[in-house]
């Protein structure tokens, strides 16, 4: 299972920091999940690090709205895993995921520069990846225990889905015995995703989520000593 990348959690105190020359809005809180803020800059980081392009016909605002929804869901899952006290993810797995992100950039310099532009250090990215991998392990080990794929389901998928796909593509039909385990894994991942959706929906139902993405932004107050 592949998780969409989200963001590390910057300090809420830096969400709206004025400059020395005037009051300039540099960031804002767009959602709060059980007291844990998600910032507008978190959406920026998620867009860059996930490498997901905007869908055809999707506006920038719609894209950012969709990313925020995913961040809220991810934050809910991370909170639950933290409450459960799940074991740390092996360092080598974290390193592999970080390398996969690094590979999206043309050079190490471009990668580091982009992290700096996003207000991140490599340590923060590693922390983020570790959290995401913890969720994946939790889902696979605990929710995966609810998933069972029977032989009848495998045979049905073979006859109704795989064979027609191969025939439509002009490819030879592979014997069922040769693809049985691959089909089992495909069906298992489908069921696991369904369990993930149910689990996340239940977490959202129990959580305190304040979403301010669509609220109009208020003007910043004038500097001290200035008249409005």
Counting Cα atoms < 13 Å in the Cβ hemisphere of 163 gives 10
End-to-end alpha carbon distance in the chain: 53
State how far the alpha carbon of 130 is from the alpha carbons of 2, 95, 145, in Å.
13, 9, 22
- Which structure tokens are listed for 145? 């225990």
Q: What is the pLDDT of residues 43-79, one digit of tens each?
A: 998 988 887 788 888 999 999 999 999 999 999 999 9
Backbone angles phi and psi of 65, in degrees to 5: -60, -45
Could you report the per-residue pLDDT of 11-51, keeping only the tens digit for each? Answer: 333 344 444 445 455 688 999 999 999 999 999 989 888 87
Q: What's the Cα-to-Cα distance from 3 to each of 67, 134, 168, 189, 202, rounded to whole Å?
A: 13, 11, 31, 13, 19
> What is the per-residue pLDDT for 217?
67
The domains of the chain, with CATH numbers, are 12-145 (1.10.4030.10)
pTM (2 decimals)? 0.73
């Amino acid at each position: 299972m592949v998780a969409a990348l989200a963001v590390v959690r910057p300090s809420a105190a830096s969400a709206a920091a004025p400059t020395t020359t005037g009051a300039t809005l540099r960031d804002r809180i767009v959602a709060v999940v059980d007291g844990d803020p998600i910032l507008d800059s978190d959406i920026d980081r998620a867009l860059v690090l996930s490498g997901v392009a905007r869908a055809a016909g999707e506006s920038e605002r719609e894209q950012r709205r969709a990313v925020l929804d995913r961040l809220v869901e991810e934050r809910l899952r991370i909170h639950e895993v933290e409450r459960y006290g799940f074991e740390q993810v092996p360092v080598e797995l974290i390193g592999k995921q970080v390398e996969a992100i690094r590979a999206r950039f043309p050079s190490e310099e471009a990668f580091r520069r982009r992290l700096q532009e996003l207000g991140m250090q490599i340590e923060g990215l590693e922390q983020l990846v570790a959290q995401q991998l913890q969720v994946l392990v939790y889902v696979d080990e605990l929710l995966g225990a609810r998933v069972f794929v029977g032989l009848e389901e495998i045979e049905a998928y073979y006859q109704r889905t795989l064979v027609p796909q191969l025939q439509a593509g002009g490819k030879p039909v592979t014997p069922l015995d040769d693809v049985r385990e691959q089909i089992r894994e495909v069906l298992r991942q489908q069921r696991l995703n369904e369990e993930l959706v149910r689990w996340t929906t239940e977490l959202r139902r129990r959580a305190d989520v304040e979403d301010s993405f669509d609220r109009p932004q208020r003007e910043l107050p004038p500097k001290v000593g200035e008249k409005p």
